Amino acid sequence: MPLATRVTSDRPSKPAGRPIPFARAVLAVAVAILSQVAVAYAQERTTPKDAPPGQRPKLTTDTGRPVGTDQHSLTAGPEGPTLLEHFYLLEKLARFDRERIPERVVHARGAGARGEFVSYADHSARTRAAFLSAKGKTTPVFARFSTVVLPKGSADTARDVRGFAVKFYTEEGNYDLVGNDIPVFFIRDAIKFPDLVHSLKPSPVTNVQEAERFFDFFSALPETTHMLTFLFSDQGTPASFRQMDGFGVNTFKWVNDKGDVHYIKYRWKSDQGVKTLTDEEAKVMGGKEPASLTKDLYDALKAGIYPSWELQVQALRPDELNKLDFDALDATKVWPESIVAFKPIGKMTIRKGPDNFFEETEQVAFNTGAYVPGIEPSEDRLLQGRNFSYSDTQRYRLGTNYQQLPINRPIDPVHNVNQEGLADHMMRKGDINYSPSTRQPEAPVEDKRALISATPLKGPVQYSAVKDPKDYDQAGERIRGMNSTDRDHLIHNLTGEMRKVKNREVVVRQIANFTRADADFGRRLAEANGVDFEKVKKTINASVAASR
């Protein structure tokens, strides 16, 4: 049993003590040689060998047995039925039958690629994250750009948010920065996320995405207004993954060695600039080449054009959060750059598409709960929910041991007693699967550096809305900050979808939300949708009265 020998041979050896009698020494040498042979044998059995150069490898079954024919089933006589005995045929069909795994519940369609991140400087004054501890420090990354709502086979060109997820393979474990191409989000509390996604996904009756359903939801939830000014601008239809910025959206914490905390927000600034399509261009492009954004990325990489992004952060000390006149941890808001400037941190360059789409892009599992020492979640209510949801869905989508898949494995070995479950292939050694143990002197040790910072709390345990939600202010500022073309496109793109909504009350309520952001914009939107603006004003008055 080579495997068993391997297991026992790697147990911790006893420390040297009294002189060993000759017979025991011979026995020890023999055991050592035998165990080396067994290890070599086990490795030979488990490490795939390539055919010698110039020779084609032999076709094999999944157990490694050479295959006699890949063209014909084994049948009972020339005209008889196929025999159950044809194991290779059964294996081939059974594997095919199981090729699909559940697609991501959101962000199902995406393009992934490898590259690296280089830190501009030693950022240890703000964070003890090792990958940011020196100028020029280089960390391998895997990035995945995605659409959110529609399934894996849908078009890249749909009006949608784009995911911008980056996995850093650092020496202190993987750090996942799972962002979007829009700096804010629809909602501020994780409890609304399933409702948001249900309203945007195809109807459970018709299997068609319906404006009737998502505007019903958006119009009833004014906090979505700011996000809609991005989604329905041309930013909702990016021209390419290379030409879009990324944002962490949520607020995170950076903590240095002394325990000083900064609340931070991330931005990836594209060195290629930002390029968007008009609604019409996106529709034409979607007809001609539905995979246009994916192809653009891979064509560029093949041509040796490597896109890059600068990572930037905004940082505030805990006592500075009240510089902002809204809840700083509300994901429907940006931190105005006039108050908190972005500082450059480092650069990511993407260099290579995947060798295998399924094994890399499909099986990569990003997770907002994957932090490294020096980076922590903030108390942001949306982020707190996300920190549960990603690993939970990945256990369902990829299985309990999804972190052992090559694309998800950290670069340094994992040491803990977590084990077993479907497809566990850590090849652990020894019988100590509990902690603490006095039998394992070199057991992994805890690292106090990895403890998180202490957060002072006050007040009762409660269910409550954020104070002073200010749902319309930043939406209004954004609308007023647009040039006239962008504002016209926002009206045009919104109207294109709102015209499909049969329930006019929903349309009036949605226009009322935009009017509360900017009265002139609301009036123009009402006109474009054939809505009497007096009705909009009445709706606003009623909602203001109800909220008193």
Residue 519 Cα distances to 477, 516, 526, 532, 543, angstroms = 12, 6, 11, 14, 16
- Interface residue with ligand HEM among 130, 177, 200, 249 (CB under 6 A) is 249
**Which lies closer to ligand HEM via its Cβ, residue 26 or residue 105?**
105
CA of 489: how far to CAs of 7, 222, 284, 340, 536, in Å? 66, 21, 17, 29, 22
Nearer Cβ to ligand HEM, position 148 or 517? 148
Q: Which of 107, 226, 262, 489 is catalytic?
A: 107
Q: How far apart are CA 107 and CA 102, in angstroms?
A: 12
By C-beta, is 190 or 536 nearer to ligand HEM? Answer: 190
| Residue 209 near ligand HEM by CB under 6 A | no
3-state secondary structure of 182: coil
Q: Which of the following is catalytic: 174, 180, 367, 513?
A: 180
Name the one residue in this structure whose structure tokens are 């964070």.
127
Stretch that binds ligand HEM, among 17-25, 287-295, 334-342, 384-392 (CB under 6 A): 384-392
290 near ligand HEM, judged by CB under 6 A: no
- The answer to whether 365 contacts ligand HEM (rule: CB under 6 A) is yes
Q: Is 179 in the site for ligand HEM (CB under 6 A)?
A: yes
What is the number of residues in the chain? 548
**Strands 138-147 and 162-170, how do they pair?**
antiparallel
Residue 64 Ramachandran class (φ > 0 left, ψ -120 to 50 alpha, else beta) = left
- Which contiguous run of DSSP H or E holds residue 346? strand 343-352
# residues near ligand HEM by CB under 6 A: 28
CB of 108 to ligand HEM, least distance (A): 8
CA distances from 3 to 48, 65, 234 (A): 17, 20, 59
- What are φ and ψ of residue 143, in 5° steps? -110, 145
When binding is defined by CB under 6 A, the residue of 92, 152, 283, 397 that contacts ligand HEM is: 397
Supply the minimum distance, in Å, between the C-beta of residue 421 and ligand HEM. 18
- 107 given a catalytic annotation: yes
Site for ligand HEM in 98-117 (CB under 6 A): 104-107, 110
- Select from 123-131, 225-233, 393-401, 467-475 the region that touches ligand HEM (CB under 6 A): 393-401
375 binds ligand HEM (CB under 6 A): no
Q: Binder to ligand HEM among 163, 354, 374, 476 (CB under 6 A)? A: 163
Q: What is the rounded CA–CA span in Å between residue 493 and residue 491? A: 6
Residue nearest to ligand HEM (CB): 163
CA-nearest of 471, 492, 468, 496 to 482 is 492
Determine the straight-line distance between the first and last CA of the chain, rounded to whole angstroms: 77
Burial classification of residue 409, based on how many CB atoms lie within 10 Å of its CB (0-12 exposed, 13-18 middle, 19 or more buried): middle
Concerning whether 180 is annotated as a catalytic residue, the answer is yes
Residue numbers at the binding site for ligand HEM (CB under 6 A): 104-107, 110, 144, 146, 163, 165, 178-180, 185, 190, 193, 249, 331, 364-366, 382, 385-386, 389-390, 393-394, 397
Which residues are marked as active site? 107, 180
